């Protein structure tokens, strides 16, 4: 436009300087003066045309996001009453991204499960306790048919049905049982506290709390500790053990031990993962370990977390020799940790197996249904957990992350060479299965595999598979990989191959992973696939993962608030994630998309009117509109209706949104606002401005009222264009709005009336008389509204612009409806589609299938290293112990 101004000034304007003189600082030379005028007009048009992206756009978006966040805060359907936890949006800038999630990375313990551990079953020297068999049938009775045993020291979370163990304890004939529960009462880092004559345990991990609580209920109660002793109550008799050493837990050792002394007898008690305990047993324990392994497989198939228990009696001479070397190692200034670990290994060998424990960590309510709906929304869920692969696999089946119709690949190797072999083998198997089922041939097998490039929707395999071949009802691939294998899979040499295969899977479960590995996995997806990711967890070990993902969700659970404080949103239970994404996330994405589409449309229509007028004013940067109208257009005359659209609009209700997860795909594919739609908005605004400007111009070009008033003056024309523009864009907003309410109708009509009221006051003669100003628009309002030409032009242009939009939408909904249109019609007319019920697997059949699939146990040990030294150094002490010590010192 500045160039156009330069040409006009050079060819036309320079010849009429006697009538329209240039400024004194402009050169009198026609060419130089024209160039100077063009540069000045360029700056003027920068100011005049900045309405394409006005400052009100940023303010409006932030206002909409703020209120969208408040809808999350105020949603009582995401209120977790037992813990009094309300969903909270801790940021207001990511609401629309909640509607575009493609990958969810989830912790297991405390996120998918309740993180409330309960002692369920155990095996003591080959005898299994916890299962109750029917006397007449060879099957187990359900808990509904049983009556729980009542204990003297009952715990709310502890339920036990097997009378056999109680009888064996009361008989007091089996010394192995005494050793078993003595170990549970002594081998831990739990701290006790007395409250109202009750013992309250403060444990670092819920697992330890469950084990110590179970021992107390069965009559082996831990009372308190000092840095050198442990006081217990066994069979109503209080005893004190000398605490000689605590061999602390760490992720490498996967076990902990204590060395205690009682009546001159020195005993080492050890508990840990079955694999590490098995390696340190005496060769004579081979048969017992084999029997215990069967029990481990059995409880692992039920998703229980397990530990193995072992013990060893030490001679005084052996212990004294070891203790001297251990003391020397702890004071060493070089390689201290290495020396200590070596001494741990030296004494923790040739042990006798006591048995195993099985702890239940139940799934949270609604987790399977939530995961099923999120999967239907084409969201991939990866479970990143510190548990063993068997426990994670069975939890995966319990929460429907894995199904029996999936091809499951397990990678549980430790060397880089083995990991490479397993990944290559999996890739070959994957290609062969795809070619077999989908009747296609992959020409370039070195190219990265991608379902989209293959033209296959992995969530609708039945549409693509060969029905004669796919008799197994193939539902996709899943990958289970351990932390040891991930060390190599995430290396620079293998990470792209791992990414390729993992993204071809519907579900991925990473087991025994560290917090660092969790963040590396999320970073790998974010960096290479350029998609919106979400991470959800409840503990401090999930913080790095939460911070790496685009959106972090913290669950307020048993492990504190570290995850919540590092997150963008917090919820009370995992099941609320489906409402957060499928309702709030989807609505937020739709609202922001429609807001941006409409906002750019109305501003393009406004700005292009200025452009058309420039053709008639020599590109002089003269505005067609009144200066007050230019100021108020984006503040008062068009903003309120679009704000209501961005805050209140919804296509279908919340319940329908949850029941139709496939509607979420719109946000993932960014169908509602992208480059194509932006261009369409610009063209729509261009066409609207063209019709508004030129039809108004033609209608009043030679228009004279019967009273003799000429309407073709500049002020009347500008007011007519402004008025028609305001009415048209607000009616366009009404057509964009799906959810009409009384509030919206009031604001829509009020905005249009405000335009008329504003100009009635501004253009009245009363204003001129009161303020003694010579305003060129005075009287224009009355003249225009009394004119039939004005109303005819308004009606004509509204019909020309709005009728095609209405017709297009009618035709599209009638003949080419999209998924949202179908869902709205179903909701409006109460049409309910028949839901296809999935084949229900008999629980006993599922139990058998899981038992076959499981080849190991789940490892229940979630505490961190460092508590042992704190206890033995006296840093960590119980309150009751401290009080007793102070009383003894006072007596002395």
- Catalytic positions, written as ranges: 107
387 marked as binding residue:
yes
- Residue bearing tokens 């890739």: 427
Known binder of ligand: residue 274? Answer: no
Cα-flanking dihedrals φ and ψ of residue 186, to 5°? -110, -35
Residue 107, annotated as binding a ligand: yes
Q: Is 595 annotated as a binding residue?
A: no
Residue for token digits 């894995």? 402
d(CA 718, CA 625): 5
In what helix (H) or strand (E) does residue 67 lie, and over which residues does it extend? Answer: helix 55-73
Binding site annotation covers 249?
yes
At residue 15, what are phi and psi to the nearest 5 degrees? -90, -10
Q: Are 433 and 407 in contact (CB under 8 A)?
A: yes
Is 305 labelled as part of a ligand binding site? yes
Three-class secondary structure of residue 533 per DSSP = strand
Give the CA distances from residue 394 to residues 387, 397, 541, 767, in Å, rounded to whole numbers and listed in that order. Answer: 11, 5, 22, 79
Q: Is residue 842 marked as binding?
A: no
CA nearest neighbour of 255 among 277, 222, 281, 230:
277
End-to-end alpha carbon distance in the chain: 99
Q: What Rg value do the Cα atoms of the chain yield, rounded?
A: 38
Instruction: Give the span between the Cα atoms of 661 and 373, in whole angstroms.
Output: 6
DSSP single-letter state for residue 490 = T
Residue 421, number of CB atoms within 10 A of its CB: 13
Give whole-number Cα distances, 122 to 125, 128, 131, 358, 796, in Å. Answer: 10, 6, 10, 6, 84
Q: How far apart (Å, rounded) are the C-alpha atoms in residues 316 and 324? A: 12
Residue ranges of alpha helices (H) inside 111-257 are: 163-171, 175-186, 206-217
Whether the Cβ atoms of residue 406 and residue 130 lie closer than 8 Å to each other: no
Q: Is 572 annotated as a binding residue?
A: no
Q: In angstroms, rounded to a whole number, what is the distance separating the alpha carbons of residues 237 and 239?
A: 6
Q: What are the b/e assignments for 118-146, b being 16+ CB within 10 Å?
A: bbbbbbbbbbbbbeeeeeeeeeeeeeeee
Q: How many CA atoms lie within 13 A of 606 on its CB side?
A: 29
Cβ atoms of 143 and 161 closer than 8 Å: yes
Residue 568 CA, chain-centre distance (Å), reads 9
Helices 586-614 + 55-73 axis angle, to 10? 170
- Cα–Cα distance, 881 to 892 (Å, whole number): 17
Both structure tokens of 844: 């006993």
Nearest CA to 416 among 344, 329, 488, 317? 488
Kindly provide the residue ranges of all beta strands, DSSP E only, lying in 390-538, ordered along the sequence.
407-411, 477-482, 507-511, 533-537
Could you tell me which of 576, 573, 577, 510 has the C-alpha nearest to residue 114?
573
SS3 annotation, 538-606? CCHHHHHHHHHCCEEEEECECCECHHHHCCCEEECCCCHHHHHHHHHHHHHHHHHHHHHHHHHHHHHHH
361 annotated among ligand-binding-site residues: no
Q: Between 639-648 and 742-762, two packed helices, what is the crossing angle to 10 degrees?
A: 170
Q: How many helices (H) and strands (E) does the chain have?
A: 34, 23
Tokens of 210: 């469950």
User: Whats the size of the chain, residue-wise?
Assistant: 892
CA angle (502, 506, 507) in 5-degree steps: 75
512 has binding-site annotation: yes
Spatial separation of the C-alpha atoms in residues 346 and 802, rounded to whole Å: 86
> Does the annotation flag 386 for ligand binding?
yes
Whether the CB-CB separation of 188 and 861 falls below 8 Å is answered with no
Give the residue numbers of the binding site for ATP. 107-109, 208, 249, 271, 305, 385-387, 512, 518, 541-542
Give the residue numbers of the binding site for Mg(2+). 107, 109, 538, 542
Give the residue numbers of the binding site. 107-109, 208, 249, 271, 305, 385-387, 512, 518, 538, 541-542
């Amino acid at each position: 436009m500045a160039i156009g101004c330069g040409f006009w000034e050079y060819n036309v304007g320079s010849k009429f300087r006697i009538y329209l003189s240039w400024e004194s600082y402009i050169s009198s030379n026609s060419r130089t003066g024209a160039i100077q005028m063009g540069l000045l007009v360029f700056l003027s048009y920068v100011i005049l045309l900045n309405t394409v992206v006005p400052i009100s756009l940023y303010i409006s978006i932030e206002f909409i996001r703020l209120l969208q966040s408040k809808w999350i805060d105020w949603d009582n359907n995401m209120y977790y009453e037992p813990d009094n936890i309300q969903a909270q949006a801790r940021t207001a800038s990511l609401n629309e991204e909640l509607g575009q999630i493609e990958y969810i990375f989830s912790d297991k313990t405390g996120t998918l499960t309740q993180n409330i551990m309960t002692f369920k079953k155990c095996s003591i020297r080959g005898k299994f306790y916890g299962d109750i068999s029917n006397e007449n049938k060879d099957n187990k009775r359900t808990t509904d048919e049983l009556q729980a045993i009542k204990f003297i020291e009952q715990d709310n979370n502890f339920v036990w049905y097997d009378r056999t163990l109680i009888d064996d304890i009361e008989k007091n004939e089996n010394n192995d049982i005494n050793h078993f529960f003595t170990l549970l009462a002594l081998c831990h880092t739990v701290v006790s506290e007395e409250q109202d004559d009750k013992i309250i345990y403060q444990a670092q991990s819920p697992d330890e709390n469950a084990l110590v609580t179970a021992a107390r209920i069965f009559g082996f109660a831990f009372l308190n500790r000092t840095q050198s002793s442990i006081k217990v109550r066994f069979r109503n008799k209080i005893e004190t053990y000398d605490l000689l050493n605590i061999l602390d837990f760490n992720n490498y050792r996967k076990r902990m031990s204590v060395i205690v002394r009682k009546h001159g007898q020195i005993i080492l008690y050890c508990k840990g993962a079955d694999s590490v305990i098995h390696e340190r047993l005496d060769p004579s324990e081979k048969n017992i370990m084999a029997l215990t392994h069967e029990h481990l497989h059995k409880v692992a198939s039920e998703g229980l977390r397990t530990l193995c228990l072992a013990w060893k009696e030490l001679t005084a001479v052996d212990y004294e020799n070891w203790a001297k070397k251990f003391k020397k190692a702890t004071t060493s200034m070089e390689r201290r940790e290495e020396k200590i670990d070596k001494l741990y290994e030296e004494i923790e060998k040739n042990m006798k197996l006591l048995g195993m424990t099985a702890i239940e960590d139940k799934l949270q309510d609604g987790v399977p249904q939530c995961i099923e709906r999120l999967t239907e929304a084409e969201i991939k869920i990866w479970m990143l957990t510190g548990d063993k692969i068997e426990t994670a696999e069975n939890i995966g089946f319990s929460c429907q992350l894995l199904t029996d119709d999936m091809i499951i690949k397990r990678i549980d190797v430790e060397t880089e060479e083995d990991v490479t072999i397993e990944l290559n083998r999996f890739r070959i198997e994957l290609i062969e299965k795809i070619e077999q089922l989908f009747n296609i041939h992959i020409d370039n097998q070195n190219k990265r595999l991608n379902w989209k490039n293959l033209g296959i929707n992995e969530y609708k395999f039945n549409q693509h598979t060969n029905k004669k071949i796919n008799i197994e009802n193939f539902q996709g691939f899943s990958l289970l990989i351990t932390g040891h294998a991930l060390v190599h899979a995430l290396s620079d040499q293998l990470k792209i191959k791992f990414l390729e295969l993992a993204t071809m899977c519907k579900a991925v479960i990473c087991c025994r992973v560290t917090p660092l590995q969790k963040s590396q996995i999320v970073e790998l997806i974010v960096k290479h696939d350029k998609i919106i990711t979400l991470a959800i967890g409840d503990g401090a070990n999930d913080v790095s993962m939460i911070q790496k993902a685009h959106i972090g969700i913290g669950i307020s659970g048993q492990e504190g608030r570290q995850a919540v404080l590092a997150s963008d949103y917090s919820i009370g239970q995992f099941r609320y994630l489906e409402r957060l994404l499928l309702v709030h996330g989807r609505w937020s994405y739709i609202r922001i998309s429609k807001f941006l589409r409409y906002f750019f449309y109305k501003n393009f229509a406004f700005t292009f009117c200025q452009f058309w007028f420039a053709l008639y004013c020599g590109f002089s940067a003269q505005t067609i509109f009144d200066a007050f109208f230019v100021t108020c257009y984006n503040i008062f005359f068009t903003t309120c209706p679009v704000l209501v659209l961005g805050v209140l609009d919804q296509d279908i209700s919340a319940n329908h949104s949850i029941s139709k997860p496939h509607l979420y795909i719109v946000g993932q594919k960014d169908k509602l606002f992208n480059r194509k739609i932006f261009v369409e908005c610009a063209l729509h605004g261009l066409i609207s401005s063209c019709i508004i400007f030129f039809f108004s111009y033609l209608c009043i070009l030679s228009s004279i009222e019967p009273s003799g008033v000429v309407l073709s003056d500049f002020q009347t024309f500008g007011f007519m264009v402004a008025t028609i523009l305001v009415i048209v864009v607000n009616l366009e907003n009404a057509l964009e709005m799906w959810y009409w309410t009384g509030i919206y109708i009031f604001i829509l009509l009020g905005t249009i009336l405000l335009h008329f009221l504003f100009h009635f006051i501004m253009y009245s003669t009363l204003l001129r008389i009161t303020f003694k100003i010579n305003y060129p628009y005075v009287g224009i309002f009355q003249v225009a509204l009394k004119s039939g030409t004005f109303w005819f032009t308004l009606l004509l242009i509204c019909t020309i612009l709005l009728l095609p939009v209405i017709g297009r939408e009618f035709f599209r909904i009638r003949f080419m409806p999209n998924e949202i249109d179908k869902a709205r019609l179903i909701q409006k007319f109460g049409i309910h589609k028949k839901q296809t019920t999935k084949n229900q697997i008999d629980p006993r059949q599922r139990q058998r299938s899981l038992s076959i699939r499981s080849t190991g146990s789940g490892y229940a040990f979630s505490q961190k290293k460092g508590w042992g030294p704190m206890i033995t150094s006296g840093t960590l002490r119980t309150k009751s112990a401290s009080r007793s010590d102070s009383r003894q010192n006072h007596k002395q």
